Structure 1
Amino acid sequence: MTYVKPSFRHPELPKNDLGFTKKDYEGAISTLCGGCGHDSISGAITQACFEMAIAPHRLAKLSGIGCSSKTPTYFLGNSHGFNSVHGRMPSVATGANLANRDLIYMGVSGDGDTASIGMGQFVHAVRRNLNVVYIVMNNGCYGLTKGQDSATADVGSVSKNGINSFNAIDLPALALELGATFVARSFSGDRTQLIPLIKAAVSHHGFALIDVISPCVTFNNNTGSTKSYDYVREHITTADVVDYVPPGEEITMEYAEGSSAELTLHDGSMLQLHKLAPNWDPRDKLAAMQRIYLSRVNKEILTGLLYIDPDTQDLHDILNTVDKPLNELREEDLCPGSGALEEINRSLR
């Protein structure tokens, strides 16, 4: 077995609008367990960025510690990357975003990295509306330390360590409470749903959470686990089907009257929603919170775009920062002269 990817690719591979092939968005060969849901998420990220024709050098991928945080090695090998310490990815993402607002930031984390040691970091990134795509690869266990239950394991769920006695932290519900402006949940085995959600999250102006149920085939794929492949497939329910339409592309999809909605994002791209749940409106925050609660009561796994605020201010808007990245500021930008200082002093008298 080899861990070196062959350099040869067929010369007639499809290319996106920038002239890149999908190979340009790949990374190293995964060393995760065969069948791990995280690899499917990496594949969805690769496909989404290829289809959106994102120049690889315009994306920065950040992670913490855990099986999930290894995955940035396995996609977008030509992008910027930073692997931080356990639970501290949001702080690194905040600093990087404030220093260079021109990059697209994608944070990859796990249920332990986010819902346990990184909880304090996560909640402040949400409440500040940091412009980042925050993907949680949620398997309900600590894969690196042999499968102990994580904070997102459902009460009564059975793992190899026994029955979990504690209530789970529901990250989408928490994100809604804290003011997140884009909240979604998906399943690693549903690329048809996940890829458009990633595209929409990238286009969103503000904090975009995608909580992805991603079964751990080694430690948490057994009978009784609520994060196993079988359980998720049997209990999954969808709020809506999302179709992402980039700017300039003709809209050709049609749905029956009363069953669809269109949302225009800040960059001109569009989301078309085919609503499966009755009276579903992802712009209604209260309805989203109620539906998430009902899904827990009914032991359902609610997926799709749960909530979005298409008209939102991100951290740069709130802080009124300069438009230029900090590394592009020149002396005349940083030192405008004594006249400007005198005007500031005059305003404070």
Structure 2
Amino acid sequence: MTFVKPIFRHPKLPKNNLGYTLKEYEGAISNLCAGCGHDSISAAIVQACFDLSIEPHKVAKISGIGCSSKTPAFFLGNSHGFNSVHGRMPSVATGANLANKDLVYFGVSGDGDTASIGMGQFVHAIRRNLNMVYLVMNNGCYGLTKGQDSATADVGSKNKSGSINPFQPVDLASLALELGATFVAQSFSGDKGQLVPLIKAAIHHKGFAFINVISPCVTFNNNAGSTKSYDYVREHIEATAKLDVIPHQEEIRVDYPEGSAAQVTMHDGSLIRLQKVATDWEPQDRVSAVRAIQRARVNEQILTGLLYVETQFGDLHDILQTVDTPLNKLQVADLNPGAGELTRINASFS
């Protein structure tokens, strides 16, 4: 059966500051299972980019292998895209970002693609503070190969076949914090009201912005006993705060009672406002964020929201002290300093 997305859109659809409707941010029709949480995440990305009036051709979507890595075909169809091999998305994203830092980079991955075969690359993308949104669609199983437990499956959880997972899980949010990620968030695919602002904040962040999204697999991991099922997540979710993002172009006004809210100014002047819900948690204190996650785990809760953000540390281009002009736009005259300059550099080593 062939599905064709209708061309017609209602003429009075809302438009953003570019004059675009959501149609300009959509992609192909999804061929994932009906009800898959990954499609909800794709819709959240579409909404975030539309709201921020990001030009689609200034976005690069890079993925690895897995159900999650298929999703870039289903959003921002007018953007750049590259589907790499299993677990190797971060190195491709690094090369692309070094060549052209003017693009917004979305790295889309899964729990298998990141927490198993891609773990080494994940670690070094964080270490380099690569300027990208790294989004993991985490369902705790390998959906493309019939539902085996992935490295993020919780100990004691039961998969569809009835097997009990005996291994401790890789907690990606905790790991990202320990490795020094400068933006760490966690969310649920069924909570668009939280996920859209988180994606907006991640886009504004200059550096490695990690979002771990619990995204139930409706075919292989939505059964009783699974800790990644819709029912389990809804019953155990705990939000850190209500999040709002105010772009730099708008007038910024904040008026909260003392002690009830936090605000974080991003590199570009945009503001993240956090109406605090969780107690004893500070979004700009890495140790506080780690403790909040650990307390939630002890209480059998899934902590969601913006867990940690650091806006003082430079991204990879700042660390390497690259020029302001994207490297792919440099001309021969920029790259060849001439014989005289080369002689001066060589003389400095003598």
Please tell me the TM-score bracket, short chain as reference: over 0.9
Contact 2:280 2:288 in 1 (8 A): no
Distance 2:337 2:251 in 1: 47
Q: Counterpart amino acid of 1:294?
A: R
Query: What's the secondary structure of 1:133's corresponding residue?
Result: strand
Which SS does the other structure have where 2:186 is aligned? strand
Q: Deviations over 1:234-293 (max 9, x none)?
A: 000011111000112234564332111111101111100111111321000011111111
Offset, 1:317: 0.7
Q: 1 CA distance for matches of 2:51 and 2:179?
A: 32
Q: Which residue pairs with 1:152 in the alignment?
A: 152
- Partner letter of residue 277 of structure 1? A
AA partner of residue 240 (structure 1): A
| Residue 6 of structure 1 pairs with residue 10 of structure 2 | no
Counterpart amino acid of 2:22?
A: K
CA distance in 2, matches of 1:266, 1:253: 18
Aligned equivalents of 1:253 and 1:11: distance in 2? 36
Return the letter of the residue paired with 2:105: Y
**Is the aligned partner of 1:92 residue 2:98?**
no
What residue is the counterpart of 1:68 in the other structure? 68
**Offset at 1:294?**
1.6
SS of aligned partner of 2:303: strand
- For structure 1, the residue ranges without an aligned partner over 5 or more in a row are none
d(CA) in 2 for partners of 1:54 and 1:261?
A: 26
Q: Which amino acid aligns with 2:154?
A: D
Using the TM superposition, name which of 266-275 and 320-329 deviates more: 320-329
Instruction: Name 1:105's counterpart in structure 2.
Output: 105
Q: Match of 1:67, as an amino acid?
A: C
Structure 2 gaps, min length 5: none
Secondary structure of the residue aligned to 1:163 is coil
C-alpha contact 2:84 2:92 (8 A) present in aligned 1: yes
Query: Where does residue 130 of structure 1 map in the other structure?
Result: 130
The DSSP-based 3-state class of the residue aligned with 2:187 is strand
Deviation string 1:163-211 (CA, Å, 9 cap, x unpaired) is 0000000011111111100000000000110000000000100000000
The answer for the alignment partner of 1:45 in structure 2 is: 45
Q: Counterparts of 1:129 and 1:249 in 2: how far apart (Å)?
A: 28
Report the counterpart of residue 331 of structure 1 in structure 2. 332
Which amino acid is the alignment partner of residue 112 of structure 1?
Answer: G
Which whole-Å CA distance do the structure 1 matches of 2:46 and 2:137 have between them?
A: 15
Return the alpha-carbon distance in structure 1 between the equivalents of residues 144 and 335 of structure 2: 46
Deviation, 1:2, is 4.8
Instruction: Give the match's secondary structure for 2:348.
Output: helix
- In 2: Cα distance, 1:93 partner to 1:327 partner: 15
**Partner SS state of residue 192, structure 1:** helix
Structure 1 equivalent of residue 196 of structure 2: 195
Q: Supply the AA of the counterpart residue of 1:156.
A: G
- Read off the aligned partner of 1:79 and give its amino acid letter: S
Contact 2:43–2:75 at 8 Å: present in 1 too? yes
Cα shift at 1:104: 0.7
Deviation at 1:226, TM superposition (A): 0.4
Number of positions where the alignment pairs a residue of Structure 1 with one of Structure 2 = 349
- Per-residue CA deviations over 1:75-127 (Å, capped at 9, x if unaligned) read 00000000001110001000000011111100000000000111111111011
SS in 1 for 2:273: strand
Aligned-pair distance for 1:14? 1.0
Q: Does 1:249 align with 2:241?
A: no
Q: Distance in 1 between matches of 2:251 and 2:225?
A: 46
Partners of 1:113 and 1:130 in 2: CA distance: 18
CA–CA separation in structure 1 for the residues paired with 2:257 and 2:330: 52
Distance in 2 separating the partners of 1:65 and 1:133: 17
After TM superposition, list the pairs within 5 Å mapping 1:1-349 onto structure 2. Answer: 2-161=2-161, 162-251=163-252, 254-349=255-350
- Counting aligned pairs with the same residue, the percent is 70
Equivalent position amino acid for 1:6 in 2: P
Q: Measure, in 2, the Cα distance between the counterparts of 1:12 and 1:74.
A: 24
Q: Secondary structure at the match of 2:156?
A: coil
Say which SS state the counterpart of residue 348 (structure 1) adopts.
coil
TM-score normalised by the chain length of structure 2: 0.98
- Cα offset, 1:347, TM superposition: 2.2
- The answer to whether the 8 A contact 2:134-2:211 is kept is yes
TM-score, with structure 1 as normaliser: 0.98
Cα distance in 2 for partners of 1:304, 1:261 equals 13
State how far apart, in whole Å, the 2-side matches of 1:234 and 1:188 are. Answer: 14
Aligned-partner Cα distance in 2 for 1:199–1:20: 18
- For 2:49 and 2:25, the matched residues in 1 are separated by 7
3-state secondary structure, aligned to 1:169: coil
1:129-152 per-residue CA deviation (whole Å, 9 max, x = no partner) reads 011100000000000000000000
Deviations 1:283-323 (A, max 9, x none): 00011111111211211100000000011211111111122
What SS does the corresponding residue of 1:54 show, helix, strand or coil? coil
